[in-house]
Structure 1
């Protein structure tokens, strides 16, 4: 058997093994445990889950996953693919979709298949502000000064294909509060959510007041009770490992989650270098008080609902055939999520 063919134990039902990663396969995954459902069989056809149940898919080639656990493929809600190429590695590691939260305009819509990407393009910032004054000098920021410029920047980004808007909320030079509010209003009027780079308490409070929907990182400085409350009903992308997993950031995430903020798994890939599901990020989510079910939700159903990927985040009939096969139950051992034995994306086997 060549390296391009499936590895592992196969139960063949009348046809040869499909090639690895050459496109969607019509197969049945037999004998595994779909987490949250129980032991059952999954039929994959044309990149979709077409049937789920014991004995489903008679006559199809069968992959024996007895004793293993099946969960949806992950969504990483903070990456930078223009800064560091890694979509293929992400796919091989079990990531089916990602939110790219800062890239030059020309990078929007670039090749990332099979990983789906929601792009922000350059983050809206002040002239000479973050990230133009550091790592993002080559087009990763779009400078504005006035409210009208901020609204126009949103229109430009949406016109170029951005599906989310990102604001840089930092120490001076920074976008004014009225300009941030104008950008958020324009984004919401255009059906786009607003993510904010805000690492301190004051900046996080400003971002919430301006109308931002998502903290692009867990803040690393102590948050006041008022700031935590201001984010109730909104979302935060974890990115704990990207900033060293400090005890204060971990505690901030715990408090934000306890207040009703939705936690979205994210790694800040580009700043970090692990392509795939990051074991260090999973461990830090555990430290922040998330159990296995909450971590699974943060990487699957929660971001699928938040970002509008309606066919991701669950292993149900009609959903995308994008899933992980795990050797251990991730509800009991969340670290298993970072070491899948098989990865299927849109019906094609990557691993």
Structure 2
């Protein structure tokens, strides 16, 4: 499927999670690309497909608030698992443009919003990947006087938001250059002047404090290098930032990545990328003591900080830091279900985790046409068997899903999909 069908669907007597709470069973009409109506007893439009929603829950399409997308196969894979929008947090500009264009034209892919090139100091993260030949050289920011031109160039590339790296190398065991506070402030100001939100890569408490003090809009990771003191938690709350905990990717730095359990779940495994499953088996075969390096961050501290921030009113957004999946546990689509389970294990209710997956990221990034189930919004919708507000894993039992009103085909074998 490559375009909107313009068809009409009536779902009878389905429970609706509207983005913030579960509503009683009702009828929902999807008309072409939008949600047309909700009500207790609606007449079936002429020619409508009628579905029985008894015992099911209808939710907004899920939003992954932290990914890195490099090909359309990843966007197909995300959609298969219920993610209808990805928020890409940095990569090659030409790739980002290509992904955004493809997602805008095709409804068999998750939609995507992009950051393009992230801001970092010369030699700063992820510049070490350039040295290893893993990524191409990219522009950097040497000081505050370069901030405005850097952000203007990102806008010209098509960026929807700005990514700023504040990474001193703690997570990889190698010291890395950092931008000055003045430079980060100038970048945030330049982004805001152009209507962009600024999101900071911050894995440590020191980096999170700097980002918050510089007026950042959101933290792309929760601080994970040790217990966060109350002053840091309060600073996040009082300065109005949001946080994307990315607990799943942090478990990938431990002996037991969260994806191990996902690969064994019969509700998920049949839809997983075969190459990812093969890579995961190779990772499992490696002695954990040899596979896990001396990395000074971990999911326990990130989870604690994120939940404490949330308790003080900080919007919490679900995101995976999903990458290509090859040689790494965290990937597009399937890993998102681990993220939600980890948020619940950390102390959120299932309903709060669902808000972190729908309305919260839509609000944080100004996506006013999605993230909720309401008349007039995009028909990015997910129908599951059971009640995920009671059991978050019910979200894995997908009965149907729509992107802009077009039903997604979950039957096409991923093995047959070619990377583009």
1:103-122 mapped onto 2 (5 Å cutoff): 103-110=91-98, 111-112=102-103, 113-114=106-107, 115-122=110-117
Q: Could you tell me how far 1:276 is from its partner in structure 2?
A: 4.4
3-state SS, counterpart of residue 76 of structure 2: helix
2:90 counterpart residue number? 102
3-state SS, counterpart of residue 143 of structure 1: coil
Q: Could you tell me how far 1:275 is from its partner in structure 2?
A: 2.0
2:271 counterpart residue number? none
Q: Could you tell me how far 1:187 is from its partner in structure 2?
A: 0.5
1:67-146 mapped onto 2 (5 Å cutoff): 67-82=55-70, 85-110=73-98, 111-112=102-103, 113-114=106-107, 115-134=110-129, 138-139=135-136, 142-146=139-143
1:7 counterpart residue number? none
Please point out which of 278, 302, 309 is paired with 2:367: 309
Q: Could you tell me how far 1:181 is from its partner in structure 2?
A: 0.8
1:26-65 mapped onto 2 (5 Å cutoff): 26-35=8-17, 36-53=22-39, 54-59=41-46, 60-65=48-53
Corresponding position: 1:218 with 2:190: no
Contact preservation (8 Å) 1:91, 1:276: no
Contact preservation (8 Å) 2:245, 2:303: no
Distance 1:223 1:140 in 2: 34
Distance 2:68 2:59 in 1: 25
Distance 1:34 1:219 in 2: 34
1:188 counterpart residue number? 192
Q: Could you tell me how far 1:31 is from its partner in structure 2?
A: 2.4
2:157 counterpart residue number? 160
| More helix as a share of residues | 2
Distance 2:4 2:146 in 1: 46
Corresponding position: 1:228 with 2:233: yes
Please point out which of 391, 394, 402 is paired with 1:333: 391
Distance 1:26 1:58 in 2: 7
CA pair 152-71 structure 1, distance change in 2 beyond 3 A? same
Corresponding position: 1:267 with 2:267: no
Q: Could you tell me how far 1:229 is from its partner in structure 2?
A: 1.7
Distance 2:371 2:335 in 1: 15
Distance 2:391 2:384 in 1: 10
| More strand as a share of residues | 1
Q: TM-score, normalised by structure 2?
A: 0.75
Q: Could you tell me how far 1:224 is from its partner in structure 2?
A: 2.4
- How many residues in Structure 1 have an aligned counterpart in Structure 2? 333
Q: Could you tell me how far 1:259 is from its partner in structure 2?
A: 2.3
3-state SS, counterpart of residue 142 of structure 1: coil
Please point out which of 247, 266, 270 is paired with 1:240: 247
3-state SS, counterpart of residue 315 of structure 1: coil
3-state SS, counterpart of residue 316 of structure 2: strand
Q: Which moved more, 1:257-266 or 1:105-114?
A: 105-114
Distance 2:11 2:89 in 1: 35
Q: Could you tell me how far 1:116 is from its partner in structure 2?
A: 2.0
1:11 counterpart residue number? none
Q: Which moved more, 1:255-264 or 1:241-250?
A: 241-250
Q: Could you tell me how far 1:307 is from its partner in structure 2?
A: 1.0
3-state SS, counterpart of residue 187 of structure 1: helix
Distance 2:14 2:322 in 1: 31
Please point out which of 228, 249, 256 is paired with 2:302: 249
Q: Could you tell me how far 1:314 is from its partner in structure 2?
A: 1.4
Q: Which moved more, 1:227-236 or 1:194-203?
A: 227-236
Q: Could you tell me how far 1:85 is from its partner in structure 2?
A: 4.5
Distance 1:85 1:140 in 2: 25
1:14-25 mapped onto 2 (5 Å cutoff): 23-25=5-7
Q: Which moved more, 1:131-140 or 1:172-181?
A: 131-140
3-state SS, counterpart of residue 343 of structure 2: helix
Contact preservation (8 Å) 2:86, 2:113: yes
Contact preservation (8 Å) 1:73, 1:322: yes
